[in-house]
Amino acid sequence: MADDERSPLESEIRRLIAAAGQMPVAEYMRLCLTDPQYGYYVTRDPLGAGGDFITAPEVSQMFGELIGVWMAAVWRQMGAPANVRIVELGPGRGTMMADALRAARVVKDFHDAVVLHLIEVSPRLQELQRQRLQAFGLQIAWHAALADVPGGPSIILANEFIDTLPVHQAVKRNDGWHQRVVGIGVGDKLTFGVGRDPWRQFEATLPPAVRQAPEDAIFEWRPDSIGLELGQRARTGGAALIIDYGHSKSGLGDTLQAVADHAFADPLAAPGQADLTAHVDFEALALSAESIGARCHGPLPLRDLLFNLGINERAARLKARATSEAAAEIELALARLTAPGKRGMGELFKALAIADRKLDPLPGFVALA
Ligand code: SAH
């Protein structure tokens, strides 16, 4: 490929590799998604039919509405504090929060207690969130990171956020585990490779279930920091609800994937132009949150959480006053959110709550009788 056909970020990544050597996968992912100038999320609105992918809140208003009811119930369990920080990580277009706040408005004391804190890297999406949410008349603050949100009673939400956090990868070779990296390969193309020297003590840090890995196996992980931060905030009278795709148990496998224009793409083909994600390891996330004193509920398949929170009843109520065309759409959205396998989000997506130990049981995580 000629220099001038490359994306500006690819040229930058090649410069960095030429200067400093092969680049760890996590660093590559970080640049692709959040480079301040060329990062995927910084330069566009990726959501919806005209974008690259669709998320649960964009599928149906029912999703956000159930989250709103969940928040209000958790706030009551927290003792109905007069001020509660509702924090959302990566709110996208603000759709989930708008649906949630609308549904929770009936609980007037709750609505009056809310201050919104939104963590968003994209100026473009921040603007969409502002337009979407200002009608609620709430105080809203935007931050670059969760660490910037002041302490105090909080309910934290994250839908399809953790999967965008950079993931590290290691590859098993006959002399041990090596870092997986991005370098320049045959035909002068970006290519995956392995770091030269094995990591001596790496195997001992792995979850027991993956220690006997065959050669060429790949193990992925994210730093503990996000689980620790969520656990730290939740354990003193708060809760976090994390919804994302991933696995309930730590395991082996390369899940780094690129999506552009609603189809899978090569993660190295057009840095900064495609969404890059990797599955969430819910076992690892829960362990880090619990290690700091929070209690985890789940992970549950998303369908179970939505059924427990009453999505069937909600759909029936909406359908009862809808035209037959709209009723068919509600039915389709319900199937998309709850169907198992490849047909829907119901099974691949999981929900994990991280909460103060005093908030037990938590709505949605205990099956209703
Ligand atoms: N929750 C939304 C959007 C999911 S897409 C939905 O379900 O529709 C991921 C979101 O996280 C986007 O808003 C993106 O801009 C934001 N984001 C990604 N990485 C981020 C980071 N490191 N810091 C803050 N926001 C980030």
Question: What is the band of 193 on the pLDDT scale with cuts at 50, 70, 90?
Answer: very high
Nearest C-alpha neighbor of 350 from the set 310, 302, 278, 294 = 302
- For 72-98, how does the pLDDT look when each residue is reduced to its tens digit (9 = 90+)? 999 999 999 999 999 999 999 999 999
- Please enumerate in sequence order all residues whose Cβ is within 8 A of that of 357, keeping only pairs 6 or more positions apart, or say none: 235, 293, 294, 295
Q: 1 is written with which tokens?
A: 């490929």
Question: What is the band of 360 on the pLDDT scale with cuts at 50, 70, 90?
Answer: confident
Question: What is the band of 44 on the pLDDT scale with cuts at 50, 70, 90?
Answer: confident
Q: 């979407």: which residue's tokens?
A: 132
Q: Is the C-beta atom of 91 inside 6 A of ligand 1?
A: yes
Ligand 1: which of 96, 161, 165, 345 to mutate, judged by most atoms within 8 Å of the beta carbon?
A: 161
Per-residue pLDDT, averaged over 99-122, amounts to 97
Residue nearest to atom 2 of ligand 1 (CA): 92
Per-residue pLDDT, averaged over 344-359, amounts to 96
Question: What is the band of 6 on the pLDDT scale with cuts at 50, 70, 90?
Answer: confident
Has residue 2 got a pLDDT over 70? Answer: no
Handedness of CA 131, 276, 286, 341 (dihedral sign): positive
DSSP label at 164? G
The C-alpha atoms of residue 96 and residue 65 are separated, in whole angstroms, by 8
Whole-number pLDDT of residue 27: 98
Query: Can you give the pTM of this predicted structure?
Result: 0.96
Domain boundaries in the chain? 43-166+222-355
Whole-number pLDDT of residue 368: 53
Per-residue pLDDT, averaged over 303-319, amounts to 97
Going through the chain in order, the beta strands assigned E by DSSP cover 23-24, 84-89, 114-119, 140-143, 154-159, 168-173, 176-184, 190-194, 218-221, 239-247, 257-260, 263-265, 275-277, 280-281, 295-301, 349-355
How is 317-369 classified by DSSP, letter by letter? HHHHTS-HHHHHHHHHHHHHHH--GGGSSTTTEEEEEEE-TTS-S-TTTS---
Q: What share of the chain in percent tops pLDDT 70? A: 98
Phi/psi at 195 (5° precision): -60, 155
Per-residue pLDDT, averaged over 44-68, amounts to 91
- For 121-165, how does the pLDDT look when each residue is reduced to its tens digit (9 = 90+)? 999 999 999 999 999 999 999 999 999 999 999 999 999 999 999
Q: Is the C-beta atom of 57 inside 6 A of ligand 1?
A: yes
Q: Is the C-beta atom of 309 inside 6 A of ligand 1?
A: no
Has residue 253 got a pLDDT over 90? Answer: yes
**What architecture is the 43-166+222-355 domain classified under in CATH?**
3-Layer(aba) Sandwich (3.40)
CB 162 within 8 A of CB 222: yes
The C-alpha atoms of residue 10 and residue 270 are separated, in whole angstroms, by 7
Q: Is the C-beta atom of 338 inside 6 A of ligand 1?
A: no
Per-residue pLDDT, averaged over 206-227, amounts to 95
Has residue 180 got a pLDDT over 70? Answer: yes
Q: Which of left, alpha, beta for 322 (phi over 0: left; psi -120 to 50: alpha)?
A: beta
- Please enumerate in sequence order all residues whose Cβ is within 8 A of that of 167, keeping only pairs 6 or more positions apart, or say none: 25, 26, 29, 220, 221, 222, 255, 256, 278
Q: Which atom of ligand 1 is nearest the CA belonging to 42?
A: 15
Q: 């599928």: which residue's tokens?
A: 59
Question: What is the band of 369 on the pLDDT scale with cuts at 50, 70, 90?
Answer: very low
Phi/psi at 173 (5° precision): -125, 175
Whole-number pLDDT of residue 147: 96
